[in-house]
Structure 1
């Protein structure tokens, strides 16, 4: 007896289609903008044609650049807002 071929059924996903949610919010972009602003200020201070021993060009500009690159920009990328849900505190 010949086997009857069944039409291939479309595989259904076990998970419903989720709407894409961008991981960075408005607060993240504000922190990143602050970091870029401080970077620009640091580069401007570094480019000032001043006396070589000036405070702005030798001390403040590198501190601003390092602080912005190592603290503010990573904070802007990694910051996650706390969600305020309607869940009650079970311990209280």
Structure 2
């Protein structure tokens, strides 16, 4: 009976596995997030980089790249 359950579990695990491109996209997202926080901390309170550039980078990292790396499936 356990032999019948093993192939199903293996299929489920194989369906959730990441490929190289998923890790690359995830790493790009993490870089955007890290550099976004660094840029936000480096500028003055009312500077362009603190008010515009850093939030755009954080948005791209959190909302675009990280979910894209989780959703993307290669051919």
Same fold (TM over 0.5): yes
Q: Does 1:81 align with 2:46?
A: no
Task: Report the counterpart of residue 58 of structure 1 in structure 2.
Answer: 51
Aligned length: 71
Q: Select the structure that is richer in helix.
A: 2
RMSD: 2.3
1:53 positional shift: 2.2
Q: Which sections of structure 1, spanning at least 5 residues, go unmatched?
A: 1-10, 83-92
Q: TM-score, normalised by structure 1?
A: 0.65
Q: Which sections of structure 2, spanning at least 5 residues, go unmatched?
A: none
* Highest RCO, 1 vs 2 (Cα 8 Å, sep ≥ 6): 2
Give the distance between the partners of 1:56 and 1:16, measured in 2 at CA.
53
Compare CA radii of gyration and give the structure with the larger one. Answer: 1
Task: Report the counterpart of residue 35 of structure 1 in structure 2.
Answer: 29
1:14 positional shift: 4.8
CA contact (8 A) 2:23 2:69 kept: yes
